[in-house]
Amino acid sequence: MEWTGEGLLIGARRHGESSVIAEVMVAGRGRHLGLVRGGRSRRLSPILQPGNTIQLTWRARLEDQLGMFTVELLQARAAELIEDRTRLYLSQLVCEHLRLLPERDPHDRLLGMGLRLIDGPPDGVALARFELAVLDDLGFGLDLTTCAVTGTTEDLTHVSPKSGRAVCRTAAAPYVDRLLPLPSFLTARGNASPHDIADALRLTAYFLQTHIWGPREIAPSPTRDLLTKILSEET
């Protein structure tokens, strides 16, 4: 078995004395792992840095085996990310989220959104939308289109922590202390204030913890907490 593709490196871990198991996101193939022999060498180590885009060839005798990667660098991002703390945190978080996906299951929408987050200016709005898309692709998408109580599509201001559905202002009024704020930019076009971004990232964090981090016994990333603070600061 063999295929060649272009992938975003989202993780690499030591294997034995000199090799590395690389984890990549590949269009049409999803999250894929492979062994890179000599991956800890002086030549390959700079290539196998999360955030880099690599050209790779995967080979294995059988399709369900781990297989082996040969790699070439296409786009080096690691050095420039180190110089920009916020972009570095974003890249790390994008890679962490992509590693939540099932292996070898294509998620090209998320790959594209993740690359735009990594390559663009730090954007809290885009991050919140990316996390909503992660929840959706993992089967825990929120319904932010209509009110769970009245069915209206107007003036949606909160989200039920139980159902993950939106609630309009009138229906939410008696239960505000039990509901999660829904920033308007997630349901309509418009600008987002730092406060809106903070609310949006608290919203996605709640459902990530409830449906993914908690059940998988994953500790929430401290990088995400730092990033949330930076992206929701008043400028």
Per-residue model confidence as pLDDT tens for the chain (235 residues) = 899 999 999 999 999 889 999 999 999 999 999 999 999 999 999 999 999 999 999 999 988 899 999 999 999 998 888 889 999 999 999 999 999 999 999 999 999 999 999 999 999 999 999 999 999 999 999 999 999 999 999 999 999 999 999 999 999 999 999 999 999 999 977 789 999 999 999 999 999 999 999 999 999 889 999 999 999 875 4
Tokens of 206: 């709640």
Place of tokens 């099932």: 102
So what's the pLDDT on residue 235? Answer: 43
- CA nearest to 14, candidates 37, 31, 32: 37
158 and 178 in contact (C-beta within 8 Å)? Answer: no
**CA-to-CA dists, residue 125 to 72, 186, 198, angstroms:** 33, 8, 10
Domain 2-76 falls in which CATH fold?
Answer: OB fold (Dihydrolipoamide Acetyltransferase, E2P) (2.40.50)
Nearest to 54 by CA among 29, 22, 84, 80: 22
Q: What is the pLDDT of residue 120?
A: 93
Pairwise CA distance, residues 209 & 216, whole Å: 9
What confidence score (pLDDT) does residue 234 get?
Answer: 56
List, as one string, the DSSP characters of 96-132.
Answer: HHHTTSPBT---HHHHHHHHHHHHSS--HHHHHHHHH
Domain with CATH 2.40.50.140 in the chain: 2-76
Contact between 24 and 10 under an 8 Å Cβ cutoff? The reply is: yes
Task: Tell me the helix, strand and coil percentages in the chain, rounded to 5.
Answer: 35, 25, 40
